[in-house]
């Protein structure tokens, strides 16, 4: 009996140690469910807080968990894969019912996903994918088609310059190196513009999906690269940072340099409505309700589709003016 009590005390202490280890790796917070009939506990490892999109996504996940009666253990990885791996291991030790995460980069997940599988804890990928060959390591992937987003950006550009035979010099601000949206938005865009040699990407560099880095890299592009016609930024935040750099260099964003971005968060939409951005491809961060629904099904052992693609649109300047008043994020 004493042995059993000691074991229980030890288990309790281990769980406490695991929680504080999670906090050290970017902060783990626990939120109780706000009612509902379910007792599902979800461990969620978020990428970070790098952009307006990410803030909206975190809010969507946290609010939906409350509405769905899911207890959420939330961990912010501060854009570091090692923090996400630590958080996932901590969730495994805490024996959560389901783990959901948005992988900061695509590769390097197999060992920790195998640990979750061995512990019989289902995993859901949300927002970003992993490149694991073994697709049994996760139950489903909920998120956008980033290749399609890149293609939509390219298609707008092709249409915009359809009557011109001149060379079009493009600079590209990529998202976080190795992340699915950076890889796929680049590939989709390249596939479309690659059909016409007049389109040339004359400079490309990561801006890490942040406004500050977007500004810094655009300043460097403006110094090193003459005659920039177009900026393609993999998200609104980098585009907004770049606008500051362009204005700082005495040029007019949206006119001297045409700008295409991805996301359609409020600040981006405002810049589009103001004529500083020319076209935005939407990437919806409102994944929370679908995520909670999938999580409950997976925990019950119900079948779920292996891929759930988010529905998205695109915005011109006129469409942004119409959509802005009712924009949720």
Which residues of this chain interact with ligand AHR, rule CB under 6 A? Answer: 50-51, 53-54, 127-128, 181, 209, 235, 237, 262-263, 283
Q: In angstroms, rounded to a whole number, what is the distance separating the alpha carbons of residues 301 and 298?
A: 5
Q: Which is nearer to ligand AHR, 18 or 61 (CB)?
A: 61
- What span, in angstroms and rounded, lies between the C-alpha atoms of 66 and 297? 17
To the nearest whole angstrom, how small is the minimum distance from the Cβ of residue 109 to ligand AHR?
16
CA 235, chain centre distance (Å):
10
For residues 219 and 196, the answer to whether their CB atoms sit within 8 Å is: no
> To the nearest whole angstrom, how small is the minimum distance from the Cβ of residue 50 to ligand AHR?
5
- Which helix (H) or strand (E) covers residue 113, if one does? helix 110-118
C-alpha–C-alpha distance, residues 222 and 45, integer Å: 37
Query: CB of 235: closest distance to ligand AHR in angstroms?
Result: 4
Which CB sits closer to ligand AHR, 53 or 109?
Answer: 53
Read off the DSSP letter of residue 275.
T
Of 169 and 174, which has the nearer Cβ to ligand AHR? 174
| Cα 234 to Cα 236: distance, rounded to the nearest angstrom | 7
Nearer to ligand AHR, 41 or 150 (CB): 150
Pick the closer one to ligand AHR by CB: 76 or 263.
263
210, burial (CB in 10 Å: exposed 0-12, middle 13-18, buried 19+): buried
* CA–CA distance, 1 with 261 (Å, rounded to integer): 64
Which phi and psi angles does 264 have, rounded to 5°? 75, 40
Choose between 128 and 152: whose C-beta lies nearer to ligand AHR: 128
Of residues 43 and 103, the one with the C-beta less far from ligand AHR: 103
CB of 259 to ligand AHR, least distance (A): 15
* Shortest Å, Cβ 57 to ligand AHR: 8
Task: Say if residues 246 and 256 touch (Cβ distance below 8 Å).
Answer: yes
Calpha distance 28→281 (Å, rounded)? 32
Q: How far is the CB of 203 from ligand AHR (least distance, A)?
A: 21
Minimum separation from the CB atom of position 182 to ligand AHR (A): 9
């Amino acid at each position: 009996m004493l042995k059993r009590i000691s074991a229980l005390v030890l288990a309790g202490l281990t769980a406490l140690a695991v929680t504080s280890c999670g906090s050290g790796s970017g902060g783990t917070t626990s939120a109780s469910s706000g009612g509902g009939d379910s007792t599902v506990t979800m461990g969620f490892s978020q990428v970070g807080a790098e952009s307006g999109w990410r803030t909206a996504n975190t809010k969507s996940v946290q609010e939906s968990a409350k509405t769905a009666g899911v207890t959420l253990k939330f961990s912010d990885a501060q854009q570091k894969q090692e923090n996400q791996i630590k958080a996932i291991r901590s969730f495994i030790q805490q024996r959560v019912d389901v783990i959901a995460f948005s992988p900061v980069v695509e590769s390097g997940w197999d060992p920790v996903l195998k640990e979750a599988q061995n512990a019989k804890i289902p995993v859901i990928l949300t927002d970003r994918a992993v490149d694991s060959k073994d697709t049994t390591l996760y139950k489903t992937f909920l998120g956008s088609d980033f290749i399609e987003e890149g293609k939509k950006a390219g298609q707008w550009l092709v249409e915009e310059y359809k009557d011109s035979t001149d060379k079009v010099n493009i600079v590209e601000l990529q998202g976080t190196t190795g992340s699915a949206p950076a890889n796929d938005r680049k590939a989709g865009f390249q596939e479309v513009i690659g059909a016409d040699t007049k389109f040339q990407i004359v400079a490309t560099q990561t801006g890490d999906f942040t406004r500050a880095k977007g500004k810094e890299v655009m300043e460097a592009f403006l110094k090193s690269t003459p005659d920039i016609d177009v900026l393609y930024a993999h998200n609104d935040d980098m585009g907004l940072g770049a606008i500051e750099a362009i204005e700082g260099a005495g040029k007019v964003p949206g006119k001297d340099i045409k700008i295409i971005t991805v996301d359609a968060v409020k600040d981006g939409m405002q810049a589009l409505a103001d004529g500083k951005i020319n076209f935005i491809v939407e990437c919806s961060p409102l994944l929370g309700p679908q995520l909670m629904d999938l999580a409950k099904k997976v925990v019950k052992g119900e079948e779920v589709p292996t891929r759930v693609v988010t529905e998205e649109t695109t915005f011109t300047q006129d469409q942004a003016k119409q959509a802005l008043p009712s924009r949720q994020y």
